[in-house]
Amino acid sequence: MTTTNKAKGVYAPVVTPFLKNLEPDTAELIRQCEWLLTQDVGLAIFGTNSEANSLSVREKIDLMDALVAAGIAPDRMLPGTGCCALSDTVELTRHAVRLGAIGVLMLPPFFYKGVSDDGIFASYAETIERVGDAGLRIYLYHIPQVSQVPISLAVIERLLKAYPTTIAGIKDSSGNWENTRALIEGFGPQGFDVFCGSERFLLATLRAGGVGSITATANVHPGPIAQLYRTWERPGADERQGVLDAVRSAFEQFPMIPALKATIAHHAQKRDWRIVRPPLTALDHENAQALSAALAKLEFSMPGL
């Protein structure tokens, strides 16, 4: 990847390993991040697939510090920092910026539903003003089917007008390609970088002018996804996209986070990788076997894990 001060390419919302007592397994997270980096995939730690909202702010700060202390390059990290409480979002964001993260991925506050565009705008604006760091780069995180709080095009337009440098882009996890395209066409020319939230849309996103994908399955299938990003303008890109889609489809038959963890557990031969924090539940044996079988048919592997 070229040196730049903006995030590009493929990022994994890194799944968070837990010990049997449900504490984060810091050493295993470091190993997983190191492996992802060898696959040319960046570290969107603390995303939805990281069970980020099942971790306290303190736990997230400690994990970020541990990753950096272990030698993980902070500019390969794009931590999720959007919480319900303004004070939490500010603390986590400030810490990420100080560590040198290339940006942060920021959910809107997600407890109250039906909030106004004014309220969403104010949430981001207050955060930006309080963090007060010219180096802050915010990627908005649009995942309405989970957060139940969409980020409208009108809010993005206002934010870009008020904070053109800080508002760096978006992860669109809506699964609605028309929305992704509207974001790229409407705001791309202003330097607003659009990531799709599933590699299913990677080729379409890059062809339309987007910059990459932040995607669950990059946790388990990083190499081929990153390869399509690097080679999308070369012959055979549609076929390579087809291979990615087949693997994605296999995972989508199961609850995503438990399925990702079961797959890592299987390929790393580390049973504890299956552990999730409540309210999630681990994939049961029968479903784990079915997923393994489906992946085996696709000659799926996790080289170097």
Query: What are the residues binding its own copies (CB under 8 A)?
Result: 22, 48, 53-59, 84-88, 91, 108-113, 115-116, 118-120, 122-123, 126, 145-149, 277-281
Could you give phi then psi for residue 221, rounded to 5 degrees? -130, 40
CB nearer to its own copies: pick between 37 and 84 = 84
Q: Which long-range contacts (CB under 8 A, 24 or more apart) does 236-244 make?
A: 237/203, 238/203, 241/202, 241/203, 244/199, 244/200, 244/202, 244/217
Q: Least distance in Å: CB of 297 to its own copies?
A: 28
Helices (H), 54-138: 57-69, 86-99, 117-131
CB nearer to its own copies: pick between 130 and 248 = 130
Q: Least distance in Å: CB of 258 to its own copies?
A: 10
CB nearer to its own copies: pick between 66 and 204 = 66
Q: Least distance in Å: CB of 72 to its own copies?
A: 23
CB nearer to its own copies: pick between 51 and 172 = 51
CB nearer to its own copies: pick between 59 and 75 = 59
Closest CA to 76 of 108, 127, 35, 28: 35
CB nearer to its own copies: pick between 87 and 301 = 87
Is the distance from CB of 78 to CB of 101 less than 8 angstroms?
Answer: yes
Q: Least distance in Å: CB of 122 to its own copies?
A: 4
Burial zone of 42 (CB within 10 Å; 0-12 exposed, 13-18 middle, 19+ buried): buried
Tokens, residue 146: 């989970």
CB nearer to its own copies: pick between 47 and 169 = 47
Q: Least distance in Å: CB of 32 to its own copies?
A: 20
The CA–CA distances, whole Å, from 111 to 87, 95, 242, 286 equal 15, 23, 37, 34
Distance CA 90, CA 95 (A): 8
Q: Least distance in Å: CB of 87 to its own copies?
A: 4
User: How crowded is residue 161: how many other Cβ atoms within 10 Å of its Cβ?
Assistant: 10
User: How crowded is residue 84: how many other Cβ atoms within 10 Å of its Cβ?
Assistant: 14
SS3 189: helix
Q: Least distance in Å: CB of 129 to its own copies?
A: 11
Tokens, residue 4: 């730049």
Q: Least distance in Å: CB of 57 to its own copies?
A: 7
User: How crowded is residue 230: how many other Cβ atoms within 10 Å of its Cβ?
Assistant: 12
Question: DSSP letter at 48?
Answer: G
CB nearer to its own copies: pick between 57 and 68 = 57
